[in-house]
Structure 1
């Protein structure tokens, strides 16, 4: 059953239950509070009529009772044997002879007050002789018992049509209004459901125009935001898988090719060593790529909260010490100016940042050049600048330097191999620590990387 049908049934059931509860409440209220007042009011009228009839003639009494019947009262008069009716018949004229005899003897009958309570019949509308008041009257010396009550049907004859038409109109208009409101409420949800189902097949172009200011409108806005994020995530995933496949396939193809060469007859020992070195290099490249992919996956799966004090200057010195042989191999000069600075962060992740940045500076520097490292602080942040005299980058390359798997112009860097993930990892870590990283570079002159991290 759809939500639309459920809403209609729920509304209809609510209206029905509310009507029943209101009827029962009205019935209880009438029997509890109004029935006695109604009885006393009619008893006063009956007593006034009896006083008037006791002092008039039979002909005049006949005219009076007929007039009262036309005016809206039901009167039942009996002397114990014959019955006269004015203003119509009662639906049920059953009455105990003992009651009639008591009224004939001069006692009053409070039938409206003593009418039994019934669940599905409101006493006010019960057109029964028992639901009347009775008084004794004397006409021409003969005693009669007079029972009366207002003729509800006659009094409300015109109001029946009015209230009946009003009730039917209210019900119909309420039902139609409920259908319209339900449609307006459910239609955006139907659209959201259709758009969600389309997302299952990676279709994100389903138009969704829901301009509302209520909870459904906020839900639609959140859905559009979520859909855009999912679309970007899927596109990134596809691009990621494509790039990973390419970067893994390339060294595998190289390894396969050189293994085939090693298996050929007549390969010299010098060639075998050369082929083995290339294979080892490609294996190292794949190992680096795998480790960096795992690092990126850990960021995507769950962010690591910074939880400790880290002395950045000590980490940079340790990194320079680890890379001492790489500096010596290229005969690079090192200048490191720093003050003691500590930040709040994740020490292993920050160590990865300095290693990646310094490794890149070494990799892209020309032999015999120098690398300058300067660390300063402001009242609220730490600033680290790493400047090299390497091959540099163009503005386009700087713009995409932090993209995953992006590599600079191969014509200038064909001898420098990498995974294209190092700077992407660095950016992820820096942003995780609420910091920023910027690159300024000029081709053939050098590159400067600036990292800012908030202080404790």
Structure 2
């Protein structure tokens, strides 16, 4: 069952239930509040009629009763033996002889007030003799009982038609209005549903022409924003898979090729060592790529564990110590000024940041150049500046430096192998810790990485 049909049925059921509750409430209110007032009002009129009839000559009383009946009152006059009716008959004239005798003896009869409570028939509309008021009156010198109530059918016939037509019109117009409103409410949701279904097939160009300022309009705006983000995420995922496939396939292809060369007969020892070194380099490259991919995949799991106090200066000292042989191999100078600085976060991820930054600095520095590492603390931040005298980057390359798998064209050489994930990992880890990272660089002049983290 569609939402549109459910909405119609729900609205119809609401109207039916509310009407039923209103009817029972009105019926209860009549019996508890209005019935006594109605009885007293009719009793006052009946007593006035009785006084009026008592003062008339005997030959004019019947004419007066006819006139009263024509004026909209149902009159039932009896002396206990005979009955006279004026202004219409009662649907049910059942009444006990004791109640008639009670009126003949001079006691008033409050039938409207004492009429039994019924669920679906209020006393106001019950055309029964029991639902009347009775007063004693003297006609032709004999005591009579006068039972009286307004002739509802005569007095309110036009009102019945008016209110009946009004009720039917309200129901029909409400139903038509409900259909229109339901259509207006459900139509944008239908559009959003269609767009959502298309998103399942990675189709993001379904138009959503919803311009409203209510909750549905806000939902449409949020949906458009979400769809745009999902589209970007999907494109990045595809690009990521493509890049990973390429970066894995390339070293694997190289390894396979050199393994095939090693299987050939008559290969000199020097060539075997050369081929083995190439295979070792490509294996190391695959290992690095796998490690960095696992680091990226662990961000969500690690994000909830940024609770330990990490000494950045100690981590940098350890990283510099581990990379000592890399510095010596390339004959690089190192200048380190490390002030004490502590941050709250994940030590494993932060260690990866320093390793990637220093490894990049070593990789792209010219032999014999200098790498300068400076760590300082302020009242609120721990700040790292890492400067090298390497090959540097152009402004366009700086702009994309933190993109996954991005590597500058001149860096895609055998001498500077990499996965293109190092700086992407640095940026994500730093931002995960509430910090920022920036790069300033000039071609041939080196680069400076500026990292700011919140201090404990």
What is the TM-score normalised by the length of structure 1? 0.94
* Counterpart secondary structure, 1:207: coil
Write the distance in 2 (CA, Å) between the matches of 1:88 and 1:190. Answer: 61
Following superposition of structure 1 onto structure 2, how do residues 426-437 of structure 1 map, counting pairs within 5 Å? Answer: 426-437=426-437
SS of the residue 1:213 aligns to: coil
Q: Does the CA-based 8 Å contact 2:440-2:448 persist in structure 1?
A: yes
Q: Which residue of 2 aligns with 1:396?
A: 396
Inter-partner Cα distance in structure 1 for 2:381 and 2:108:
101
List gaps (5 residues or longer) in structure 1: none
Q: Aligned residue for 2:16?
A: 16
| 8 Å Cα contact 1:129/1:147 also seen in 2 | yes
User: Compared with structure 1, are the counterparts of its residues 94 and 209 closer, same or farther at alpha carbon in structure 2 (3 Å cutoff)?
Assistant: same
**CA–CA distance in structure 2, aligned partners of residues 114 and 382 of structure 1:** 90
Counterpart of 2:314 in structure 1 is: 314
Give the equivalent residue in structure 2 for 1:2: 2
Cα drift, residue 9 of structure 1 = 1.5
1:423 is the counterpart of 2:423: yes
Partner of 2:244: 244
- The match for 2:257 is 257
Instruction: For residue 81 of structure 1, report the CA deviation from its aligned partner.
Output: 4.2
- Evaluate the alpha carbon distance shift between residue 38 and residue 414 of structure 1 in structure 2; reply closer, same or farther with a 3 A threshold: same
Structure 1 contact 90–128 (Cα < 8 Å) conserved: yes
CA distance in 1, matches of 2:367, 2:243: 31
CA deviations over 1:203-244 (Å, ceiling 9, x no partner): 111222333333333322322222222111111111111000
Aligned to 1:454: 454
d(CA) in 2 for partners of 1:114 and 1:371?
A: 107
Could you list the per-position Cα deviations for residues 278-319 of structure 1 after superposition, in whole angstroms to 9, with x for gaps in the alignment? 111111111110000000111255525432332222222221
> 2:302, 2:346 within 8 Å by CA — same for their partners in 1?
no
The superposition leaves residues 86-140 of structure 1 with CA deviations (integer Å, 9 ceiling, x where unpaired) of 1112122233344334434444322222222211110111011221122232222
Alignment of 1:22-421 (within 5 A): 22-300=22-300, 303-410=303-410, 413-421=413-421
Query: 2-side partners of 1:177 and 1:384: how far apart?
Result: 67
Is contact 1:103–1:134 with CA below 8 Å preserved after alignment? yes
SS at structure 2 position matched to 1:91: coil
Deviation at 1:345, TM superposition (A): 2.7
**Worse-superposed segment, 54-63 or 286-295:** 54-63
Residues 373-419 of structure 1: per-residue CA shift (max 9 Å, x gap): 22233333222222222121121111111111111114774421111
SS in 1 for 2:367: coil
1:158: Cα distance to partner?
1.9
Kindly indicate whether the alpha-carbon contact (under 8 Å) linking 1:108 and 1:136 is maintained by their aligned counterparts in 2.
yes
Contact 1:373 1:386 in 2 (8 A): yes
Superposition deviation, residue 245 in structure 1: 0.4
Q: Greater shift after overlay, 241-250 or 432-441?
A: 432-441
My pick for the range that moved more, 94-103 or 63-72, is 94-103
Q: Is the 8 A contact 2:137 2:145 kept in 1?
A: yes
Moved more, 179-188 or 155-164: 179-188
Q: 1:156 to 1:427 in 2, by over 3 A?
A: same
Contact 2:340 2:377 in 1 (8 A): no
After TM superposition, give the deviation of residue 34 of structure 1 in Å: 2.4
8 Å CA contact retained: 1:31, 1:117: yes
Please give the TM-score of this superposition, normalised by the length of structure 2: 0.94
Kindly tell me: are residues 75 and 336 of structure 1, through their superposed partners in 2, closer, same or farther at Cα, counting changes over 3 Å? same
Would you say the 8 A contact 1:56–1:139 is kept in 2? no
| Most deviating of 222-231 and 233-242 | 222-231
SS at match of 1:122: coil
Moved more, 411-420 or 6-15: 411-420
CA distance in 2, matches of 1:78, 1:46: 15
Match of 1:443 in 2: 443
2:416 alignment partner, SS class: coil
